[in-house]
């Protein structure tokens, strides 16, 4: 079993340093400069000796030269005589070591020479004899302390014990960085914590059940799937589903990100893949989870200007080999998550590697209600909170968005001093997430404010009077984020969109600019976001969905995602000119239609704009006072059913309706 620690180089280095230290200290005496008595007296008479330290008990003395004599000696001394540890000596080393026979005779001779030459600067002193073993032991303890500090502070961090930063694991850089969850690790997330995602949970539960009770499937000739790929927009719960698998499965679970394979050194990614699968096979049956696999699974040969020997491609090749190659283990399942399945390599997506591709879509109405139930369990709520109402107010929200709404509502309630989170706190949270923070102190001219009011009233009027436009929820002229005004709609949750429905949505979106033209006789730059939306929607009608009579039933949409690598268009210049003309024709037709609707309902438009200027924020009830009950209410006609009744429709692309706000 690989413990992923690698070889610890610290201890061989420590042993070598200790041996070097003792070797140099054992040979220090032989390498030091010894001086006999005759030589000492001669140097004393020449005035080269500064101090003499006499040790009575050992019959030795340390001789220290003058600066001039030291300079002369240094020129003659060879560097090899110095110890590598001499830099860290605590006390100055003597220049010479003198051994004298009789102390009395030595002192008499010393005093006689000084009397004959009074100019001699030599001083004598007495000290206690040094024990070589004690000094050696003290120095050894000091160096051991230095080495221990070096090990715990620096060396262990380099070996990966202190963190996994870019400089970590310098001696085991090819080892996998996967975090292991086994029976010792308690993962709190289970399938009960995953709201919605019923189809995805069923698929994943089957994988977990296979690992627990493999005999139930193998006796019928079934094989365990090699891989499960979770695909879906950001925030839909892919990683949460993998955490639930780790909490439910009683098998080792290796978790890491796709970027953990990427390193600046060549061959590291492939080495980490090999090490990861080696660990998983040693603990089989096991599950490997790779989050954001598109970091290493991008299609090969696309946009590669650096040559064929690309590090990322080598990592991917090794992953392909490990998942389905010679010697692969059947008891290791690979789970992966990505929101860019279109750019993954085809070899990675084939059966035998990722056998199952599970699409984790944005939650439907009933799934959003379940998600709200999970996130509201930890929040102190008001008694009259309706979870069904909250789910209806958040169409197109992902699981992460709903969690953000709940958290933002709790923060708003605390900011306002509420004892519990009420309905209005949730509505304010949705408004803030969609439109941004209110800027009530923003300076706006009265003429500009009046234009903003008519702009938003134009949106509200047309969306109320046309059949297929999304029902209005709220209109405001209070600046939010980058917009001067906004209108909130409640889009109908549908899986298919007809041509008439898209025309009505285009007309409602152009209602703001049409209102400016109707009232003021000119237009402004405030309709930027509206024009961007209608242009993209009209372009999709012509080039993607085949909803134009002149272009016909043709779609230039590339679901494989390879069109982004091509420099040309899939149609001719003549067709491109025709597409531009049809897009412009669709938009202008709906703009003229909006002008006609507003011209025939100018009095109601004025009343709505004046009310908006007065109250700054109006709701659906205010529109009913002016226009009466809306003739078309999707809730009165049919409601979506979350059964398998409409399975014959397959899995069509969901056409995005109008955004929940229209920015000015």
Active site (catalytic) residues:
456
What span, in angstroms and rounded, lies between the C-alpha atoms of 237 and 400? Answer: 8
* DSSP code at position 527: G
> Taking a C-beta distance cutoff of 8 angstroms, is the pair 226, 324 a contact?
yes
What is the pairing mode between strands 96-99 and 60-65?
Answer: antiparallel
371's tokens: 């998600």
What span, in angstroms and rounded, lies between the C-alpha atoms of 563 and 579? Answer: 18
> Taking a C-beta distance cutoff of 8 angstroms, is the pair 283, 253 a contact?
no
Strand ranges across the sheet with 286-291? 179-181, 253-257, 286-291, 332-338, 227-231, 356-359
SS (H, E, C) 310-322: CHHHHHHHHHHHH
> What is the dihedral sign for C-alpha 513, 517, 520, 523?
positive
CB atoms within 10 A of CB 601: 19
Element (H, E) at 588: helix 573-600
DSSP 60-124: EEEEEE-HHHHHHHHHHS-GGGS-TTGGG-SSPPPSEEEE-S-HHHHHHHHHHHHHH-TT---EE
> Taking a C-beta distance cutoff of 8 angstroms, is the pair 514, 458 a contact?
yes
Instruction: Write b or e for each residue in 189-224: b if 16 or more Cβ atoms lie within 10 A of its Cβ, otherwise e.
Output: beeeebbbbeebbebbeebbebbeebeeeeeeeeeb
- Whole-angstrom CA distances from 555 to 75, 346, 539, 551, 558 are 90, 23, 11, 9, 9
What span, in angstroms and rounded, lies between the C-alpha atoms of 347 and 300? Answer: 10
Q: Where are the alpha helices (DSSP H) in 161-214?
A: 198-212
The partner residues of 474 in beta bridges, in order of sequence, read 488, 619
545's tokens: 């969905």
What span, in angstroms and rounded, lies between the C-alpha atoms of 285 and 252? Answer: 7
Q: Residue 123's Cα: distance from chain center in Å?
A: 72
CA proximity to 29, closest of 106, 81, 84? 81
What span, in angstroms and rounded, lies between the C-alpha atoms of 12 and 171? Answer: 14
389's tokens: 């109402």
What span, in angstroms and rounded, lies between the C-alpha atoms of 38 and 58? Answer: 19
Query: CB-hemisphere CA count at 13 Å for 8?
Result: 13
CB atoms within 10 A of CB 385: 18
What span, in angstroms and rounded, lies between the C-alpha atoms of 626 and 200? Answer: 47
Element (H, E) at 50: strand 49-55
SS (H, E, C) 250-294: CCCEEEEEHHHHCCCCCCHHHHHHHHHHHHHHHCCCEEEEEECCH
> Taking a C-beta distance cutoff of 8 angstroms, is the pair 295, 259 a contact?
yes
CB atoms within 10 A of CB 248: 20
């Amino acid at each position: 079993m690989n413990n992923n620690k690698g070889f610890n180089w610290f201890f061989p280095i420590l042993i070598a340093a200790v041996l070097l230290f003792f070797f140099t200290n054992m040979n220090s005496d032989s390498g030091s400069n010894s001086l006999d008595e005759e030589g000492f007296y001669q140097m004393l008479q020449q005035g080269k000796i500064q101090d003499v330290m006499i040790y009575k008990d050992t019959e030795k003395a340390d001789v220290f030269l003058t600066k001039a004599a030291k300079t002369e000696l240094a020129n003659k001394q060879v560097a090899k005589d110095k110890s590598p540890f001499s830099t860290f000596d605590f006390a100055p080393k003597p220049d010479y070591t003198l051994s004298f026979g009789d102390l009395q005779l030595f002192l008499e001779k010393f005093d006689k020479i000084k009397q004959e030459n009074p100019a001699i600067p030599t001083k004598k002193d007495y000290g206690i004899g040094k024990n070589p073993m004690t000094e050696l032991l003290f120095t050894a303890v000091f160096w051991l302390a230095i080495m221990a500090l070096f090990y715990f502070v620096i060396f262990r961090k380099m070996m990966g014990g202190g963190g996994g930063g870019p400089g970590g694991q310098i001696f085991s850089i090819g080892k996998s960085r996967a975090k292991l969850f086994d029976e010792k690790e308690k993962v709190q997330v289970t399938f009960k914590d995953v709201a919605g995602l019923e189809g995805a949970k069923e698929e994943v539960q089957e994988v977990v059940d296979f690992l627990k009770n493999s005999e139930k499937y193998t006796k019928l000739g079934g094989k365990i799937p090699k891989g499960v790929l979770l695909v879906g927009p950001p925030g839909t719960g892919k990683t949460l589903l993998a955490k639930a698998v780790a909490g439910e499965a009683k098998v080792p679970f290796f978790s890491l990100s796709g970027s953990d394979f990427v390193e600046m050194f060549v061959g590291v990614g492939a080495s980490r893949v090999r090490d990861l699968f080696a660990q998983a096979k040693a603990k089989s049956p096991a599950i490997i989870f790779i989050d954001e696999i598109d970091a290493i699974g991008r299609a090969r040969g696309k946009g590669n200007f650096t040559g064929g020997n690309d590090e990322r491609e080598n990592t991917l090749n090794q992953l392909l080999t490990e998942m389905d190659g010679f010697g692969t283990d059947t008891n290791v399942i690979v789970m992966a998550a990505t929101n860019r399945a279109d750019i993954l390599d085809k070899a990675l997506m084939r059966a035998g590697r990722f056998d199952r591709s599970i699409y984790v879509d944005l939650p439907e109405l009933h799934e959003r209600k379940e998600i709200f139930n999970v996130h509201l369990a930890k929040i102190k709520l008001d008694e009259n909170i309706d979870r069904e109402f909250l789910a209806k107010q958040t169409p197109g929200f992902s699981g992460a968005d709903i969690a953000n709404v709940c958290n933002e509502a709790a923060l708003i309630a605390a900011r306002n001093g509420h004892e519990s989170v009420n309905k209005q706190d949730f509505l304010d949270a949705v408004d803030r997430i969609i439109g941004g923070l209110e800027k009530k102190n923003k300076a706006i001219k009265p003429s500009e404010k009046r234009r903003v009011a008519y702009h938003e009233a134009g949106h509200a009027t047309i969306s109320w009077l046309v059949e297929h436009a999304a029902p209005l929820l709220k209109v405001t002229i209070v600046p939010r984020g980058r917009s001067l005004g906004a209108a909130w709609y409640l889009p109908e949750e549908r899986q298919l969109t007809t041509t008439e429905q898209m025309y009505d949505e285009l007309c409602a979106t152009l209602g703001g600019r049409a209102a400016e033209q109707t009232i003021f006789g000119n237009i402004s730059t405030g309709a930027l976001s509206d024009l961007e939306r209608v242009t993209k929607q009209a372009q999709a009608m012509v080039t993607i969905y085949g909803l134009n009579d002149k272009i016909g039933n043709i779609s230039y949409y590339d679901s494989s995602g390879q069109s982004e690598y091509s420099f040309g268009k899939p149609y001719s210049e003549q067709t491109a000119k025709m597409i531009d003309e049809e897009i412009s024709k669709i938009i202008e037709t709906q703009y003229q239609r909006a002008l006609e609707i507003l011209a025939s309902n100018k009095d109601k438009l004025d009343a709505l704009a004046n009310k908006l200027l007065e109250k700054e924020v109006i709701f659906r009830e205010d529109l009913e006072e002016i226009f009466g009950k809306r003739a078309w209410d999707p809730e009165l006609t049919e409601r979506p059913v979350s059964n398998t009744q409409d399975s014959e429709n397959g899995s069509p692309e969901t056409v995005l309706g109008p955004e929940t706000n229209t920015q000015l």
